[in-house]
Amino acid sequence: MPFPRMRTFLSVALAGAGLLVPGCAHPSVGSDRDDPAKPVTLRFWHGWSNAGEVKAIEDSVARFEKLHPNITVKVIGNVTDETVNQVLRAGGDEAPDVVSSFTTNNVGQYCSSGMWADLDPFMRKTGVDKEKVFPKTFLEYTSYEGRQCALPLLADAYGLYYNKDAFKEAGIARPPRTMSELRRAAVKLTRRTGDGSYERVGIMPNFRFYENSPDRLFAQWGPAYFDRQGKARLAEDPRTKEFFATQRALIRAQGGYAALERFRATFGDEMSSQNAFLTQKVAMHMDGEWRGLMLKDQKAKFGWGTAPMPVPDDRADTYGRGCLTGTVAGIAHSSRHQNAAWELVRFLTVNTDQVVRFANAIHNVPSTKAALKSPELDTDPTFRTFLDIARNPYSTAIPPSVNGGQYIVTLRDFAYDVEAGKVPDLDRGLRGLDAQIDADNLQSQN
């Protein structure tokens, strides 16, 4: 079933069941007194919709049920965060026990609202030492203000995909490692037709292009979005202006914002066979580890490789870093079977064999220290680039916030204006950006 129809179908079904009820701002209270050894049926909601990913989830659940024959898991996929949040507020017998989300940006909201249960007591009861199991950055994006309400369920790392044939044609020996190298390579790789329009750009730097959300590229500078008091500090951080200056220089070097936007309008859908990298309209682009599997499945007609994204010239020693994010899993606070639910969460997130098999199946980065070192992982070097990025000590994830990912949306909208030349005074604009982020955070606390 196509993704939009599946989402509509699910929303209608839930509404019919009386689950999409607005109102109650506080989560229903569940129970952590259940006996996980007794027969029970759990409800597990997730967001995957691709056939291969859905099968990987089904296979994972089958392995779990084989280990726990007393627990039956009913799975519903292709569920949005909005739907999950509505249902958890409403409660009811059909609400999920185990939930997952692709949006790490929202972890601060999950934890501060109390809708996702604190997992630390369950880890203590079952002897899971989270600092030994999970990489530090992964723990940071699954917790908020000391509350571990989620655990990583595989991870995503962003790196550089590049067209090896185009590189050879342009006489470029290796992928760029610094931002100045990236700019020079982009110019060399750009090709125009006889009338001056683009045939191919070296890289599409515009923020509306596919995975080019500004926070992902900004990760190469290692920014600090907030101070210790939780106040936005983008305006006072010189890295912010460096980031925008670098992105605008990439735009100017390849013909300007308007020309690039016109060319971008000719690109096909990101997840289709008309993806701009696959059709060789861009020679380099930033993307996640999953893209490699798609390029193989779609039989790309050119040689391609992967590398870490370039870093600022004055931070060349941090090369290898990247933006990290991923899927998270947790227990609904309203679940009356929280100990049994923990057994499923623990299996999906902690069990090394399960994490490795799931990572290989959907071509995502494993999210435990042991799984990252497993010899059973896919040995393809284009995939292992992303494992190295995930292990790099300079790699970062965006910090959680009480209002979820709203501050990233605010940054993105501001970045759209900057690249389009609508922010004549960047310093003033950044001060306004900080003020807006702080106002949004304050409003969400009231």
363 contact partners, CB below 8 Å, separation of at least 6: 289, 290, 292, 293, 378, 383
Confidence of residue 442 (pLDDT cuts 50, 70, 90): confident
Confidence of residue 351 (pLDDT cuts 50, 70, 90): very high
Give tens-digit pLDDT for 249-271: 999 999 999 999 999 999 999 99
- Overall average pLDDT of the 269-296 stretch: 96
Q: Give the CATH H-level superfamily of domain 3-156+324-391.
A: Periplasmic binding protein-like II (3.40.190.10)
Give tens-digit pLDDT for 124-145: 999 999 999 999 999 999 999 8
251 contact partners, CB below 8 Å, separation of at least 6: 205, 206, 257, 260, 419
What is the spatial distance between Cα 125 and Cα 339, in angstroms, rounded to a whole number? 10
- What number of CA atoms fall less than 13 Å from residue 92's CA on the CB side? 17
Entry pTM: 0.88
User: Which residue, 74, 165, 150, 180, is CA-closest to 346?
Assistant: 150
What is the spatial distance between Cα 216 and Cα 218, in angstroms, rounded to a whole number? 5
pLDDT value of residue 28: 59
Domain positions in the chain? 3-156+324-391, 158-318
Give tens-digit pLDDT for 166-219: 999 999 999 999 999 999 999 999 999 999 999 999 999 999 999 999 999 999
pLDDT value of residue 3: 32
Same fold yes or no, 3-156+324-391 and 158-318: yes
The total of other beta-carbon atoms located within 10 Å of residue 57's CB is 20
What is the spatial distance between Cα 349 and Cα 366, in angstroms, rounded to a whole number? 9
Contact yes or no for 326/365 (Cβ under 8 A): yes
What is the spatial distance between Cα 172 and Cα 166, in angstroms, rounded to a whole number? 9
| Statement: 158-318 belongs to CATH 3.40.190.10 | yes
